[in-house]
């Protein structure tokens, strides 16, 4: 009888821990990839359905950002305000409309956005920088 009570209490404790996500580690923010134009800061906001990505020109020459495309499976993100001039070391914030709620993303959910940045160097050559940014969706975020 005593063993049954102990097993029952352990099962209740396990159910409590599982239900309140006490064993789930926090979602880490990070990025991978990118060359030339690299992310400095980023956030996904459920309040305005956008992903914000701040890029820094890590090159030794000025560039013009031609486009920033994003993909948050299965959502295609559209950029607002393309065609931005950046000197070396300057930053640029891309605002991507992503419709997070239509993809089932809510506050605290993990997201991963694949991003392609097209830019033209001062010499006139067109380049692309691509990679991903990831982290938890925030309630209201701006950069």
SS (H, E, C) 75-139: EEEEEECCCEEECCCCEEEEEEECCHHHHCCCCCCEEEEEEEEEEEECCCCEEEEEEEEEEECEC
Residue scoring higher pLDDT (28 or 130): 130
Condensed to tens digits (0 to 9), the pLDDT of residues 99-127 reads: 887 778 888 888 889 999 999 988 889 99
19-70 pLDDT per residue, tens: 776 666 666 888 999 988 899 999 988 888 889 999 999 999 999 999 888 8
pTM: 0.74
Q: What are the angstrom distances between the C-alpha of 56 and each of 43, 98, 100, 117?
A: 15, 22, 25, 12
Structure tokens, 10:
């352990």
Nearest to 85 by CA among 56, 59, 60, 64: 64
Kindly state the tokens that stand for 49. Answer: 């359905």
Tell me the domains of the chain and their CATH numbers: 27-136 (2.60.40)
User: Got the DSSP string for 9-47?
Assistant: HHHHHHHHHHHTTTTPPPPPPEEEE--SEEEEEEEEETT
With tokens 């359905």, the residue in question is 49
């Amino acid at each position: 009888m005593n063993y049954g009570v102990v097993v029952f209490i352990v099962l209740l404790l396990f159910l409590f821990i599982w239900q309140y996500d006490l064993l789930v580690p926090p979602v880490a923010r990070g990025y991978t990839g990118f060359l030339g134009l690299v992310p400095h800061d980023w956030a996904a906001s459920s309040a305005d359905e956008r992903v914000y990505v701040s890029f820094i020109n890590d090159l030794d020459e000025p560039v013009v950002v031609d486009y920033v495309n994003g993909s948050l499976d299965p959502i295609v993100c559209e950029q607002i305000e393309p065609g931005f001039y950046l000197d070396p070391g300057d930053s640029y914030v891309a605002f991507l409309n992503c419709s997070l709620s239509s993809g089932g993303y809510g506050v605290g959910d993990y997201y991963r956005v694949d991003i392609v940045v097209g830019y033209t160097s001062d010499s006139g050559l067109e380049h692309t920088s691509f990679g991903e940014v990831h982290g938890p969706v925030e309630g209201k975020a701006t950069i």
